[in-house]
Structure 1
Amino acid sequence: MGAENISKTKVRAGIVGGAGYTGGEMLRILINHPNVELVFVHSISNAGNHVYDVHTDLFGDTDLKFAAELAYNINVLFLCVGHGDAKKFLEANPIPADIKIIDLSQDFRLSNDASGHKTRTKTFVYGLPELNKEAIKQAQNIANPGCFATCLQLGLLPLTSKGLLKGEVHITATTGSTGAGQSLSPTSHFTWRNDNLSVYKAFEHQHLNEIGQSLKQLQPGFNQPINFIPYRGDFTRGIIASMYIDCELSEAEALKLYHQYYDTHAFTHVTSHNIDLKQIVNTNKCFLQVKKHGGKLLIISIIDNLLKGASGQAVQNMNLMFGLDEKAGLRLKATAF
């Protein structure tokens, strides 16, 4: 279905893996999206149950039930499944070529060339709109970026666009507990997570690969270490990341560069003022604070890991793919206080 026809009707969407955190956020956005008809939500373990039996806040918003079977009378399929499961799903369930796919796992994010990751039958474009907007508009399949990867790349892309990453990058970032997914683990139980803070996967987080891939896309010669220390936070959602590099730009020059880079991007906003997570939690926004400290440029980046870091960005990609208003369905209110 072409963009000119979509504008007259609605995009018919399906969700695979609707019981988890990202599936729940996808449901919340799509049932309120002015240009979308949600056809089915697939979940074998919850088949026949109302979606509000799992996502209890949706009681009164929809009577949709989880389905055990797939339907192919759709325009776009969102894969909200675990890492490794998207590839298995597509191998077991060949999806017709005219159905666009947006995968929220990490299975198709890494690529050896500019065309994106390829399966035997499908090519995936890396779905970071602030990097690949024009390619996304023409794409048939999208690999949605990871949450940390989104937050960190948005902090660094303006610099790589001018070849200004010339030394090591130092990053510390803290994420909420929803970043660990819905399955319980020792570090996601309330009694462990509450009033607690810990480092994990220091220097070796899996999102470093896609971050490096994107930085080299804009600055091919970049080969410096990205020193990334992730923290588990004792809050539910959101990511706050601080990045610093050696930089010869003045603060005014850096702010001008960042404003110019994001001038045509709907959800990323730049300031020199202090920022905090409550400004962006429950939105598809990224806020960037840019400050100079001596010879160091400090960039603070904040996003909601479940929205701009996952489901919100996936819907943003869908909007671009179908020629819709990029902000459609994503004008969301922050928690604020």
Structure 2
Amino acid sequence: MSVPKYKALLIACITLFLCGCGQALSEREIVRAVFFARQQGQYSVCLLLADQNNNEDGLHYKTSSARGFTAAQALHRAETTLPGRLYYGLIDLAVLPADADWQTARELGSLLYDKAQPAPELSVFALDTAPHSWAEDAAALYEDMKSVRSEYRLHCGLQQLFTQADCCAVPGYRADSGYDLLLLAKQQPAPYRAAGLAAQLAAVLCGQTNRLYTTYAGGTALCRARIDVTVQDTTVQLHLRDTAFEVLTQTGQDLQALFCTELLQAFAALTAERSADFFHLQFWHANLYGPRSPAPAPQLTILWE
């Protein structure tokens, strides 16, 4: 087979795959995001879809939403209100309820896992606690969360809900700036929600970002940095590079020293609860000294490079 014919056959196979073996992509309902919320003991689900019938310039969306006693029931009801066949291959956002616990995150992750393949760019967020109208707010929430993901180089995929047997971490949406980070443990009924510098440090330790871009010192200063993490036993080393401090309100304080103090305080708060190994510290210690060896209290070292 000649090279041009081989390329033509390859293009045709890819086209058939994307179009569902005969059904044009333009005739399908392209899902871009799925939002889950809990309201009055029921699940509310919203599908945000590309509106391919809108002739105006730019990207436009439409929504389909429904309620159910379970997340699966609500999702099925939202799907059945649409005339076309759903296509999840381009989905890039899944949003959990604001009060999601470990079990909820795992259940919703499992529910979406098969539907979302092959969508490697899918990111998971948790909703904020503000009331939302899906018809009015879903598109703006979607764009805001994508902006947070891009600005903070932040990514939590579906697979990260299953990397540890007893815990996981999910970024939480904030309407103002930055993001929270929800630490969900199997044995805890409610998530631990870290904010500000602590949230960004937790995301770094979880491997969900290598950037810090946060205010500190009560909002009087701002820090930008790239961070690499190395671990020696239970001593975490933060390697900060391209660090820049900015004064937002003049206080006359040593910005670097104050930043180090708050980093250490945030690390102590994040690692105070040791029933779950959010940052794999107990895992590495067990690899060195055996599964039943007691791990010492974790330590943090800050290295400026």
Higher RCO, 1 or 2 (CA under 8 Å, sep at least 6)?
A: 1
More helix by share: 2
TM > 0.5: no
Q: Which of the two has higher C-alpha Rg?
A: 2
TM-score range relative to shorter protein: under 0.3
